[in-house]
Structure 1
Amino acid sequence: MFGRVLAWSGRHGKLMDGLRVAPLAVFCLFMAVPYGANGPFDNGSLYIGVPGYLVLCVALIVPLLWRRDRPLTVFAILSLTCFAQWLAKIDPMPADIAVLVALYSVALRCTSRWAIAAGAVAEIGVLLVMVHWNAPTFSLFFSGSILVVTVWLMGLYASTRRRYMESLEERAERAERERDQQARIAATAERTRIARELHDVVAHNVSVMVVQADGAGYAIDRDPDQARQAVHNISKTGREALAEMRRLVGVLREDGSDRTDYTPQPGLGQLEELVRGAGVPARLRVGGPPGELPEGQQLAVYRIVQEALTNALKHGGPGVHALVELQYGGRELVVRVTDDGRGAMAPRSPDGHGLVGMRERVGMYGGAVSAGPRTGGGFEVLARLPVPGTRAA
């Protein structure tokens, strides 16, 4: 229930801001009657009447509706309004509390530098009020400062707590992603080990089939019965090899299901969808006339871009952007994935296998890949793959 209330308040921010400001507006409206009943004062201040009082209250309270999106602007507007009120020698009114509300918003949502500046402006306001309307004494200044500092510290505390909770949420999400990734890596490693063992079994069976076939070829004229037995052994060994091959394919399936996946593997045609669906804002740029690539080589390019974007999301830090570039022309296809993240400052995962996988895929086609921080900041993955149609030219 509480979570739904928070979600609803997040979707209706302006309405919630209005509800928070409503008590101050009602209090100022209630105080309009005493203000009008007191009439002009004899202390030399300017009496603006109830209409002027209401106009000034509106000028001080309405900007608070935008303090969530523009806290600095709202604080500046209210500070200037109160300064104009001081210059016009208008007595303090309940709506002046809006400056403290704006100060709280600045301390909550802005950097420490702006929070300190806003606190200093509020302190100057306390001093001006004392000089203009009261005999300045240290005790009065101290009392006013206590109120300002209390509001300021409350905003700083709320800001620190909010950042701390956001960091906890980010760590929890990162830990969950890393846990799932480690589980997938462990499962993949185990499947790979089993696949190697089954590969050895299949290779042995095929070798036996070759030997039996050679023997049958030699004995088919001299000893038909021996040749017939050899063909029978070939058939039996072939069925066993086929069964082991099915087990091998089943082990290599990621989902471990018995259903065969006939979906085509992704290629260059799916790169734009991959870039749009990446967890980081990314753009795809293609240069040169696209050439025809084998499906396996297209899959290698797709996986390289996928791994590079995953690394940018994992290690680039907040606000990272990525650029995927494909350059056709000549005898090779150049794939470059760059980001503007933390680069050399990004933490390195000791058990990461992304770069190894990239090198294996590119090495299958006689290409090369490099990855590392950029001199101007960020990270770059650069892969060069030969184009089969032009390599022999």
Structure 2
Amino acid sequence: MVGRMWEWLRGKTALVDAFLAAPVALMSLPGFVGGSYGVPVVQYIVLTVALLAPMVLRRTFPRTVFAVVALVSGVQCAAGIVPVPANMAVLMGLYTVTAGFTLRWGVAAALVVEIGAVMASYRYPEGGADRRYTFVMLTVVTAGVWLLGLHMRTRRAYLRSLEERAERLERERDAEVKMAMAAERASIARELHDVVAHNVSVIVVQADGASYAIEHDVGRARQALEAISTTGRYALGEMRRLLGVLREGDDAGAYAPQPGVADLDDLVGQVRASGLPVTFEVEGTPPELSQGRQLTVFRIVQEALTNTLKHGGPRASALVRLRYGGDAVEVRVEDDGRGAAAPGGDGRGHGLVGMRERAAVYGGTVRAEPRAGGGFGVLARIPTGEDESAERSFRNG
């Protein structure tokens, strides 16, 4: 309720200004009936209206209103008419100009009022002592009003700077959120590429095998179809998990964890079932690896074996070797297939680019190129020092 009223009042500046000038008008009421300030009633009414009526537009036309009330007060002083309560409109105008405009305008308005103080000190009191007292008093009041307006102007500028900073931070936050969303979608796109490319390659190889064996070896054909079914279900589950990340406000429950180094045995077994002989070797003691590094190792092996399935040829075989040592894990995947003679086997595919991007996230490198003796090789090196340091810190408390 109060908030709505405040918003309504913010659009009614004339009404608010009239309300703020009301106390001065109330102070002026006694003079309307008896000339309490030694001024004839008609003259008093004209002077009061001339000084207070412009106050209704004080914030709409602040400099014009100040000029009008200062001029009226100057004419009043020159005519010898004693001050009335409505003369406080000059101080109200001084405050408005100082608070709403530059320092130059505030100083100019203060000088105008100070000139009026000099005129008043020489015009009204009789005797040197009273003249000095009047001048000092008016100067102090003028300085106080001017400092109050200056303080308000500084405060408003500070609040505006805070609002601008908050808006800027909000825009930067929105930009960072959009960048994070774009990065996440790029990561999901790489994940989808790895999942789809690998599993579709396995399905194609198994389907080809089943079509050849269906007339001569029904058992092998059935085995191939079962492998196609299993691979298809796995690929569908992976795609649902990845695409579920993009659903906004959809609580679809917990998804399966990301694959890691422990899942390489299943991956190698799946590739073997598709007809590609794979040798899997591990050297050294596996260190503590973060889930992100494990996923990177898994996807590099998966992409390399997928390329062998697609480009290695019917009699190709592959070697997968993980070597843990020092502060890095080395991933080597080699095959004895077509190598440079294979179409698309020049190391410029999107999958190999994805390998390099994944490794680069952790400061690693990937080299993929045809081997000198035939076939194709992928060598990746992923630093593990940060994970080991974090694990030691965790254990040491």
TM above 0.5, one fold? yes
How do residues 68-87 of structure 1 correspond to structure 2 at under 5 angstroms? 68-87=59-78
Partner in structure 1 of residue 237 of structure 2:
243
Is 1:132 aligned with 2:123?
yes
Task: Provide the C-alpha distance between the structure 1 equivalents of 2:173 and 2:12, rounded to a whole number of angstroms.
Answer: 35
Partner in structure 1 of residue 31 of structure 2:
31
Deviation at 1:30, TM superposition (A): 1.6
Task: Compare 54-63 and 241-250 and name the one that shifted more.
Answer: 241-250
Is 1:66 aligned with 2:54?
no
Task: Provide the C-alpha distance between the structure 1 equivalents of 2:198 and 2:37, rounded to a whole number of angstroms.
Answer: 106
Output the amino acid matched with 2:25.
Answer: A
Deviation at 1:146, TM superposition (A): 0.9
Task: Provide the C-alpha distance between the structure 2 equivalents of 1:62 and 1:186, rounded to a whole number of angstroms.
Answer: 59
Can you list the C-alpha shifts for 1:325-355, whole angstroms capped at 9, x where unaligned?
xxxxxxxxxxxxxxxxxxxxxxxxxxxxxxx
Is the 2:58–2:96 contact (alpha carbons within 8 Å) kept by the matching residues of 1? Answer: yes
Partner in structure 1 of residue 19 of structure 2:
19
Output the amino acid matched with 1:236.
Answer: T
Partner in structure 1 of residue 100 of structure 2:
109
Question: For this pair of structures, how many residues does the alignment match?
Answer: 250
Deviation at 1:148, TM superposition (A): 0.7
Deviation at 1:23, TM superposition (A): 0.8
Task: Provide the C-alpha distance between the structure 1 equivalents of 2:164 and 2:96, rounded to a whole number of angstroms.
Answer: 24
CA spacing shift, 1:36–1:81, aligned 2, 3 Å: same
Output the amino acid matched with 1:251.
Answer: V
Unaligned runs of 5+ in 1: 39-46, 259-393
Task: Compare 50-59 and 9-18 and name the one that shifted more.
Answer: 9-18
Output the amino acid matched with 1:249.
Answer: L
- SS across alignment from 1:252: coil
TM-score for both structures, normalised by structure 1: 0.56
- SS across alignment from 2:245: helix
CA spacing shift, 1:181–1:77, aligned 2, 3 Å: same
- SS across alignment from 1:17: helix
Deviation at 1:115, TM superposition (A): 0.9
Deviation at 1:16, TM superposition (A): 2.3
Is 1:88 aligned with 2:79?
yes
Is the 2:121–2:132 contact (alpha carbons within 8 Å) kept by the matching residues of 1? Answer: no
Task: Provide the C-alpha distance between the structure 2 equivalents of 1:111 and 1:37, rounded to a whole number of angstroms.
Answer: 37
In structure 1, which of residues 154, 157, 177 is the aligned counterpart of residue 151 of structure 2? 157
Task: Say which one has the larger Rg.
Answer: 2
Can you list the C-alpha shifts for 1:8-51, whole angstroms capped at 9, x where unaligned?
5324433222221111011112233452684xxxxxxxx6x212
Partner in structure 2 of residue 213 of structure 1:
207
Task: Compare 165-174 and 91-100 and name the one that shifted more.
Answer: 165-174
Q: What is the Cα-based RMSD across aligned positions, in Å? A: 3.0
Task: Compare 202-211 and 221-230 and name the one that shifted more.
Answer: 221-230
Is the 2:31–2:37 contact (alpha carbons within 8 Å) kept by the matching residues of 1? Answer: no
How do residues 1-393 of structure 1 correspond to structure 2 at under 5 angstroms? 3=3, 6-35=6-35, 38=38, 49-134=40-125, 137-176=131-170, 178-179=172-173, 182=176, 185-186=179-180, 189-190=183-184, 192-257=186-251
Can you list the C-alpha shifts for 1:85-144, whole angstroms capped at 9, x where unaligned?
234333322211101111111111111111111111111111122233345744432221
CA spacing shift, 1:145–1:34, aligned 2, 3 Å: farther
CA spacing shift, 1:75–1:160, aligned 2, 3 Å: same
Task: Provide the C-alpha distance between the structure 2 equivalents of 1:157 and 1:33, rounded to a whole number of angstroms.
Answer: 39
Is the 2:77–2:120 contact (alpha carbons within 8 Å) kept by the matching residues of 1? Answer: yes
Output the amino acid matched with 2:29.
Answer: L
Task: Compare 6-15 and 49-58 and name the one that shifted more.
Answer: 6-15
Partner in structure 2 of residue 294 of structure 1:
none
Deviation at 1:172, TM superposition (A): 3.8
Can you list the C-alpha shifts for 1:299-334, whole angstroms capped at 9, x where unaligned?
xxxxxxxxxxxxxxxxxxxxxxxxxxxxxxxxxxxx
Unaligned runs of 5+ in 2: 253-397
- Larger RCO (alpha carbons 8 Å, 6+ apart): 2
Output the amino acid matched with 2:16.
Answer: M
